[in-house]
DNA sequence: AGAATGACGCTGA
DNA sequence: TTCAGCGCCATTC
């Protein structure tokens, strides 16, 4: 089954267990596209909400939510979802990426 | 077709 | 530690 880049990203993100965090680079590398971290962000941006994909568990390598005007505030929704999963998020969108880091399969 | 964009990552200061 | 610059590559105009 030939899937688009976006679908591969969504599949990888769907593997993230609840209460865990993953970075765009991790997802990119997981789908065999190391260096395409930006494209992962696009896939999530095109992701229709609401969706069954735990996109809120994906943050950048800095360990903070990527705020952007293009998200129309969906970034703050991500913060709320993370708090709902027991992950403390700072007002600046920063979170403890280390302890909550997801260990990808493979 | 060519140029610009972007929910990133890494290195250097 | 934080800030700025450069590189990566698919999508879009």
Number of domains in chain A: 1
**pTM of the shown model:** 0.93
Range of the domain at A33: 5-96
- Residue A29 lies inside a defined structural domain of this protein: yes
- Residue A103 lies inside a defined structural domain of this protein: no
Q: Is the CB of A42 under 7 A from strand C?
A: yes
Q: Is the CB of A98 under 7 A from strand C?
A: no
Distance A43 CA to C13 C1' (A): 19
Per-residue pLDDT of chain A (106 residues; tens, 9 = 90+): 557 889 999 999 999 999 999 999 999 999 999 999 999 999 999 888 888 999 999 999 999 999 988 888 899 999 999 999 999 999 999 999 999 999 988 7
- CATH number, domain of A21, equals 1.10.10.10
CA–CA distance, A44 with A20 (Å, rounded to integer): 17
């Amino acid at each position: 089954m030939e899937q688009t880049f976006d679908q591969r990203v969504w599949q990888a993100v769907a593997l993230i267990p609840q209460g865990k965090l993953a970075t765009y680079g991790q997802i990119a590398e997981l789908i065999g596209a190391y260096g395409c971290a930006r494209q992962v962000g696009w896939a999530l941006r095109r992701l229709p909400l609401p969706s069954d994909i735990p996109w809120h568990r994906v943050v950048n390598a800095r360990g903070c939510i990527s705020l952007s005007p293009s998200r129309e505030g969906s970034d703050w929704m991500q913060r709320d979802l993370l708090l709902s999963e027991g992950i403390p998020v700072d007002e600046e969108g920063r979170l403890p990426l280390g302890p909550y880091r997801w260990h990808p399969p493979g």
